[in-house]
Structure 1
Amino acid sequence: MARRRKRKLMEQAIEVTIEDLSHDGRGIARVDGKVMFVSGALPDEKVMAKHTGGNKNFEEGEVLEVIKASADRVEPKCQFYAVCNGCSMMHLAPSKQIAFKQNTLKQNLLKMAKVEPLNWLDVLQADSWHYRRRARLSVRWVIAKDKVLVGFREKNGRYVADMDYCEVLQQPLDSLLKPLAEMIESLLIKQHIAQIEASIADNDIALIIRHLKPIQQKDETILLDFAKKHAIRIFLQSKGPKTIVELTKNNSALYFDMPDYSVRMEFLPSDFIQVNAKMNQKMIAQALELLDISENDTVLDLFCGLGNFTLPLAKSVKKVIGIEGEESLVQRAKHNAKINKLDNVQFFTADLRKNHADSDWFQQDFT
C-alpha cells in the first residue's frame, strides 16, 4: 500500500492544506502523516502540489494551483519568479516576510542558544526593489535553446533560469542580463564561462568573469567593446581569487561613501560588502545609537571585514580594535583607515572560532 501511495504521489498532483512555514519559507503540509514541504505555499492555504522529491523522513513539492489563497498572498512583481530561485518569498506580503524572518530568528535563538529576547527592536526597512548591489550570476550555454543564459539558478534545479531582467538588482545591473548573455554568445569560449560576480560601487560597476579556458585576443576585444558601451569594468578570473586581473585596466579603486560619517570605503570586486546600501547605513546608525558611545570609549569590533562599522565608530570614540579572520580584508581595512585619516583604529587577523583570552588585543580595556 505504501509503495502504491508513493507512486501516486510521484505521478499526480495532490490537494494539501498548509499548516505552517518552514525555516526556509516553504509551506508545511501532511500527507498520510508524513511532512511535505511545499514551495510557494502559505499557511491556511489549500493548494494542488506536485511532488518534486523527498526521503524516508519527508516529501517535497511545489504549488501547481492555489485553491484557497491566504490573505497574506500577493502577486509577485517579477515575471520570472515562478522559475528563478533568486527570490523565494515574493508571493508573501513584504511586511509578513519581515515578521516571518523575525519569528525564524526567535525560534533559532530558543532552539540553539536557549534564550529569548525580552524586547524586539523596530525592524529596519528599506526598498524592496532594485536594492541589491552585489550578486553572483550563473552562466550557461544551452545547446538545446541555442543561447547563453545569465541569471540565477532555477527553482528545484541546477539549470540557469531563462531571464532577461531582475527586479531586485540595483540599476543598471538589473537590465544588463540580456546584453551580457548576447555578448557571451559571441565569444569563442562561450561554453566555458561559469559565472559572473557583479558589484556596484559609487563610482563604477565591476564584473568578474570566471572563465575555465584561456581567453583569446578576439574575445578580449569583444569584452572591452562591451565594457566601453555599458560603462563598466571587467575583471577576469581563470582559477582562484588570486588570479583576478582587470581587463579594462582602469586601476582606480572601487568605493562607496558613508556621508553621515564622512567615510569612504575602498574595496575589491571580490570583497564582501553589504548588498543593500541603504540598509547598511541604517544598521550602522542603529548600532552606534544602541552602543551609546562616548569620546572616551574603546570599542572592540569582531568580524570587522573592511571596517564597515569600525571606521564610523572611530569618528566618535577614543579607539576601536577591529578583528577579522581574513588577512587580505585586514590589509584593506588598514588601508581604509589610512585614506580616511583615522589613527585611532587598529586591525588584527584572528580566527574568532578560537579562544583569544591571552591575545594582546583582548587585554585592552574596552569600555
Structure 2
Amino acid sequence: MTRRRQRLPQEPIELDITDLSHDGRGIARHHDKVVFVQNALPGEKVTAKLNRRTRHFDEATAETIENHSPDRVDPLCEFYDRCNGCTMMHVSDDKQIEFKFNTLKSNLEKMAEVQPNTWLPHLSDRHWYYRRRARLSVKWVPGKDKVLVGFREKNGRFVADMDNCLVLEKPLANLIKPLQELVLKMSIKTHIPQVECALSEQQPALIMRHMRALSDDDVGLLKQFAKDHNIQLFLQSKGPDTVIPLQSDYQALSFMLPQENLRYEFLPNDFIQVNQAMNEKMIARVLSTMELNSDAKVLDLFCGLGNFTLPLARHSHQVTGVEGDQQLVERARHNATLNGLNNVEFFTADLTKDHSQSSWLQQDYSHVLIDPPRSGAWDILPLIAQSSADTLVYVSCHPASLARDSKRLVHEFGFNMQAAGVMDMFPHTSHVESMAVFKRH
C-alpha cells in the first residue's frame, strides 16, 4: 500500500529567526522542529508559509516581516522572488561577505579544529553583471505559447519567467529575450532543454542542447540569429563530446589575464572561473601568498586549462600541472605554447587514484597549489605530504571539504595553517570560495 502524501497546512506560522543556514536561509524553530525559511534574516519575526516537511526539519518562505533586520535591503532584481539564480539579494553586500567568512570560520573551528595564524582580507569586486558563464534552462509553455529561458525557480521544478538578469555579464543578459523569441519559432521548441552561454573577449558563445534533429528551417533561423547578434553558436545533440560549431568560420574563444599578459583559449563547455574580475584578483593573491622566486618548482593539481599554471610559470623556474580531463590538459598545453611558456609541463591523471609511482610525483617541488572540485582533495593529500614542498596553497569552492582536508593536513601531516580567507566569486549567492595557505612546521 502506498503512503498518502501529507498535505501541508495552509495557515501561515509565526517564526522568530535566530540564525542563517549554510545556504543563506533563516533558521527558526516551530514546535521543537527546525524550520529553514527563505527570505528571512536573524532577528526578524516573520509570518511564513510551509512548502515542505521532512522528518527532521521543515522548509518555509517568509511572506510578511514584522521587524526588518538592519542587514536587509530591497532586491534590485524584479525576478528575485521566484528565480533561484540568486538567493541572498535581500542581504546587504557587507553582510553577504561576512556570512561567507563566518561559514568558513565555523567550518574550520568545528570540523577541522583549526584556526589560521592570520585571516586574509575579504576579496571582492563588482556585485552586478559579473557572470561570464551560465547554464540556462529552456521550456516552452503551450498554454501561453511562450518560451521561458532562464534559471530555475526557487522550488527547482519550473523555469523562472524572466527576460533579463542582473548578474550575467550584459552581453549574455541581453540575449535572454531574443533567445525566447528564437526558440518559439523553431520546429523542435519542445525538445530544447537548455542553453549554455559563455563570454569570450571577442563575443558571446552559446551551446544549444537539442534532443531532436534540427530541420533545415531551424538551422537557417539559428544562423541568422548568430549573425544578427554577433555570437558564436554551437549545437549539442547528446553528451559533452557532441558539441559542434554551427558556423564554418568558427574562432577560438579566449580571455585575457592582463596583469600577467596571458591569453587563454577555451571551448564553450570548458570549465573557466565564472567571475573574471574575481579570477584576476584570486590569481594575484595566490602569487603573492606563495612567495615564489626564480628557483621555485611548483606542482599545480586539478590545473584545468592552466588558469593558475600559466601565471605560476611566469614567476617560477618550473611548473607541473596535473588534471584528470584529457581535453583540458590538451587545452592547457595549447595555452602554454600560445603564450611562449617553455617551463611548464602537463599530465593527465585521475587524482583520486594512487600516484605514488607516477613520474610527475618523483620530482622535487618547493610549492604545491591545489584547486579541487567540491569533493576536495582527500585522496591526494598523503602524496602532497610526502613531497618535498614546504608551501601548500589550497583554493576551495566548498568550505566543508576544505575543513575536512585541513584537519588531515594539520593534525595528521604536520602542516600549519598560516592564513585563510574568503573570496566573493558569486555575489548574491551562498556559494563560498576560499583560500588557505599551509606551511610545514
Fold in common (TM above 0.5)? yes
- Counterpart of 1:53 in structure 2 is 52
Give, in angstroms, the shift of residue 357 of structure 1.
2.5
Give the share of equivalent positions with the same residue, in percent: 55
Give, in angstroms, the shift of residue 333 of structure 1.
0.4
**How far, CA to CA, are the matches of 1:128 and 1:175 in structure 2?**
18
- Counterpart of 1:357 in structure 2 is 356
Give, in angstroms, the shift of residue 11 of structure 1.
1.4
1:299-334 CA-partner distances (Å, limit 9, x unpaired) = 111111000010011112110010111111011101
- Counterpart of 1:3 in structure 2 is none
TM-score by length of 2: 0.80
Is the partner of 1:196 in helix, strand or coil?
Answer: strand
**How far, CA to CA, are the matches of 1:353 and 1:113 in structure 2?**
21
1:144-180 CA-partner distances (Å, limit 9, x unpaired) = 2220000000011310000000000001111211111
Q: Which runs of 5 or more residues in structure 1 are unaligned?
A: 1-5
- Counterpart of 1:119 in structure 2 is 118
Higher relative contact order (CA 8 A, sep 6+): 2
Is the partner of 1:351 in helix, strand or coil?
Answer: coil
Is the partner of 2:9 in helix, strand or coil?
Answer: helix
**How far, CA to CA, are the matches of 2:282 and 2:294 in structure 1?**
21
The change in CA–CA distance for 1:203 and 1:176 in structure 2 (over 3 A counts) is same
**How far, CA to CA, are the matches of 1:347 and 1:234 in structure 2?**
30
- Counterpart of 2:275 in structure 1 is 276
TM-score by length of 1: 0.96
Structure 1 counterpart of 2:243, one-letter code: I
- Counterpart of 1:232 in structure 2 is 231
Q: Confirm or deny that 1:196 pairs with 2:160.
A: no
Q: Confirm or deny that 1:20 pairs with 2:2.
A: no
Give, in angstroms, the shift of residue 95 of structure 1.
1.1
Is the partner of 1:245 in helix, strand or coil?
Answer: strand
Count of aligned pairs:
361
Give, in angstroms, the shift of residue 14 of structure 1.
1.1
Q: Confirm or deny that 1:259 pairs with 2:258.
A: yes
- Within 5 A, what are the aligned runs for 1:156-171? 156-171=155-170
- Counterpart of 1:242 in structure 2 is 241
Structure 1 counterpart of 2:55, one-letter code: K
**How far, CA to CA, are the matches of 1:250 and 1:25 in structure 2?**
45
Is the partner of 2:269 in helix, strand or coil?
Answer: coil
**How far, CA to CA, are the matches of 1:241 and 1:103 in structure 2?**
37
- Counterpart of 2:103 in structure 1 is 104
Give, in angstroms, the shift of residue 260 of structure 1.
1.2
Structure 1 counterpart of 2:212, one-letter code: K
Structure 2 counterpart of 1:287, one-letter code: V
Structure 2 counterpart of 1:273, one-letter code: I
Is the partner of 2:120 in helix, strand or coil?
Answer: coil
Q: Which runs of 5 or more residues in structure 2 are unaligned?
A: 1-5, 367-441
- Counterpart of 2:36 in structure 1 is 37
Q: Confirm or deny that 1:133 pairs with 2:129.
A: no
- Counterpart of 1:344 in structure 2 is 343
- Counterpart of 1:302 in structure 2 is 301
- Within 5 A, what are the aligned runs for 1:140-155? 140-155=139-154
Give, in angstroms, the shift of residue 354 of structure 1.
2.6
1:299 touches 1:366 (CA, 8 Å); kept in 2? yes
CA RMSD of aligned residues (A): 1.2
Give, in angstroms, the shift of residue 355 of structure 1.
3.1
- Within 5 A, what are the aligned runs for 1:207-226? 207-226=206-225
**How far, CA to CA, are the matches of 2:115 and 2:53 in structure 1?**
33
**How far, CA to CA, are the matches of 1:95 and 1:112 in structure 2?**
26
**How far, CA to CA, are the matches of 1:341 and 1:207 in structure 2?**
30
1:196-230 CA-partner distances (Å, limit 9, x unpaired) = 00000101210000000000110010111111111
2:72 touches 2:91 (CA, 8 Å); kept in 1? yes
